[in-house]
């Protein structure tokens, strides 16, 4: 169960003072009812009053609890409905960490990845794209747009200087890509991740699992060779760390595992058919027609009806509780 306004659940605590007040005034009211009923009907009137008074107090407390639940906006379960599938939204998450500047792929891993992104863009009429630069943090360079010129301009400036956050955190990049999709669920959705697989922080697996639960198609494109090469620093000289020069190779095993988690697809940028495979992925994701969309079922109406029923029961029991004294 989930709630749209969980803070309103605190109102349910008002049921406690209602019960406390009922317990406090119950004996005094029962004594009054027994006195009005007379000697012969005293015992019967007292028992009837006690039972109805307890039912009224319980109904009043349940009314308060159900009203609070209704206002909090509960929902659980899912409901499927046929929805028209139109358009396509693609989030491009581009790893711009220092290792992507390695030149084992000419002219560099990053430029090779950009070339593939441009090939996707050229055959995507009518699709919307967003661009995220992933380094130590994910930075949304271009929000979801059909403006291919704005996208290409931003792509030119996607490099390690696009964000000052050091390291490599693919999780934050993937999350930024997921956040770039529009709230509507009618479009086909696909997320392209271009990376050499290096990750120094975060947990990209968690973000990939979120993508799968949101029904976002994941295509992972690995860039770089299998042999570790030196990573260039900001000035072009070899990047050094505590243990000496930093070297990097494509972690294909990690990237394949990420694709497998979501039921997505892994492609190697060096393969001759990768460009065609990316175009096919776009074409498949664009498919039109109907599909089943699932949404959480809003249960506010159920608790509102229960609240009204308990309110009616509380009023009725309150009216009947003195019946023994009047008969």
pLDDT at 84: 52
Q: Is residue 243 part of a domain?
A: yes
Residues 6+ apart with CB under 8 A from 242: none
What's 136's domain CATH number? 3.40.50.410
Same domain, 218 and 147: yes
227 and 164 in one domain? yes
Residue found by looking up tokens 């909090």 in the block: 72
31 plus 136 within the same structural domain: no
Give the pair of three-digit tokens for residue 140: 């949304």
For residue 161, what are the contacts with CB-CB under 8 A and spacing of at least 6? none
- 301 has a pLDDT exceeding 70: yes
Query: Mean of the pLDDT values across residues 154-181?
Result: 82
Is 205 within the bounds of a domain? yes
Asked if residue 246 belongs to a domain, the reply is yes
Give the pLDDT score at 291.
Answer: 47
Q: How confident is the model over 39-56, as a mean pLDDT?
A: 72
Identify the top-confidence range among 118-122, 163-167, 319-323: 118-122
Most distant CA pair in the chain: distance in Å?
A: 106
Residues 119 and 217 in one domain: yes
pLDDT for res 290: 47
Between 49 and 283, residue with greater pLDDT:
283
| Summary mean pLDDT of the chain | 81
On the question of pLDDT at 206 being above 90, the answer is no
Q: What is the mean pLDDT of residues 35-46?
A: 65
Assigned token pair, 112: 């090779």
- Domain membership flag for residue 250: yes
CB atoms within 10 A of CB 42: 17
**Whole-number Å distance between alpha carbons of 179 and 84:** 22
Lowest mean pLDDT among 103-107, 132-136, 199-203: 199-203
What is the average pLDDT across 32-48? 65
Q: Which residues contact 303 (CB under 8 A, 6 or more apart)?
A: 66, 67, 69, 70, 74
Looking at the predicted structure, is the pLDDT value of residue 74 above 90? no
CA distances from 24 to 15, 51, 52, 175 (A): 14, 15, 15, 55
Question: What's the pLDDT tens digit per position in 261-288?
Answer: 778 899 999 998 999 999 888 887 765 5
Tell me which of 291 and 66 has the higher pLDDT. 66
Whether 255 and 304 share a structural domain? no
Domain match, 122 and 261 both: yes
3-state helix, strand, coil in the chain (%, to 5): 50, 25, 30
Task: Report yes or no on 124 lying in a domain.
Answer: yes
CA distances from 219 to 11, 29, 100, 143, 203 (A): 46, 72, 18, 19, 18
pTM: 0.59
Same domain, 108 and 188: yes
Answer whether residue 41 is part of any domain: yes
Closest CA to 12 of 61, 79, 84, 46: 61
DSSP state letter for 185: S
Helix axes 109-122, 274-285, angle to 10 degrees: 40
Same domain for 247 and 140: yes
Residue 289 has a pLDDT of 46
d(CA 143, CA 137): 16
pLDDT at residue 317 above 70? yes
Which residue range is the domain that position 315 belongs to? Answer: 2-77+297-326
My answer on whether 278 and 140 are in the same domain is yes
Is residue 82, in this structure, part of any structural domain at all? no
Q: Say how many domains are in the chain.
A: 2
Helix axis angle, 204-213 to 170-179, nearest 10°: 20
Whether 41 and 111 share a structural domain? no
Band (164; pLDDT cuts 50, 70, 90): low
Tell me: do 220 and 263 sit in the same domain: yes
Are residues 231 and 155 both part of a single domain? yes
In a domain, 99, yes or no: yes
**Least reliable range by pLDDT among 3-17, 68-82, 187-201, 299-313:** 68-82
pLDDT of residue 200: 56
DSSP letter for each residue of 176-223: HHHHTS-S-S-SEEEEEEEE----SSS-HHHHHHHHHHTT-EEEEEE-
């Amino acid at each position: 169960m989930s709630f749209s306004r969980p803070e309103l659940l605190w109102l349910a605590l008002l049921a406690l003072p209602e019960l406390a007040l009922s317990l406090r005034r119950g004996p005094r009211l029962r004594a009054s009812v027994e006195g009005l009923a007379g000697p012969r009907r005293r015992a019967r009137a007292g028992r009837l009053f006690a039972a109805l008074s307890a039912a009224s107090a319980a109904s009043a407390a349940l009314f308060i609890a159900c009203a609070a639940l209704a206002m909090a906006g509960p929902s659980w379960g899912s409901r499927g409905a046929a929805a028209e599938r139109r358009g396509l939204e693609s989030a491009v998450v581009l790893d711009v960490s220092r290792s992507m500047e390695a030149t084992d792929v000419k002219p560099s891993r990053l430029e090779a990845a950009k070339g593939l992104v441009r090939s996707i863009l050229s055959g995507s009429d009518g699709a919307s794209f967003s661009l995220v630069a992933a380094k130590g943090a994910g930075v949304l360079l271009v929000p979801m747009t059909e403006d291919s010129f704005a996208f290409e301009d931003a792509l030119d400036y996607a490099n390690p200087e696009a964000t000052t956050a050091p390291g490599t955190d693919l999780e934050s990049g993937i999350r930024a890509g997921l956040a770039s999709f529009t709230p509507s669920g009618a479009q086909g959705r696909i997320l392209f991740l271009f990376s050499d697989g290096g990750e120094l922080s975060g947990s990209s697996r968690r973000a990939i699992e979120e993508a799968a639960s949101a029904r976002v198609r994941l295509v992972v494109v690995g860039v770089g060779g299998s042999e570790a090469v030196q990573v260039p620093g900001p000035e072009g000289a070899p990047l050094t760390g505590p243990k000496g020069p930093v070297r990097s190779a494509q972690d294909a095993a990690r990237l394949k595992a990420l694709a497998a988690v979501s039921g997505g697809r892994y492609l190697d940028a060096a393969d001759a058919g990768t460009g065609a495979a990316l175009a096919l992925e776009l074409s498949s994701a664009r498919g039109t027609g109907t599909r089943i969309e699932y949404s959480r079922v809003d249960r506010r109406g159920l608790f509102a009806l229960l609240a009204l029923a308990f309110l009616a029961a509380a009023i009725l029991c309150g009216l009947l509780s003195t019946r023994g004294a009047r008969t």
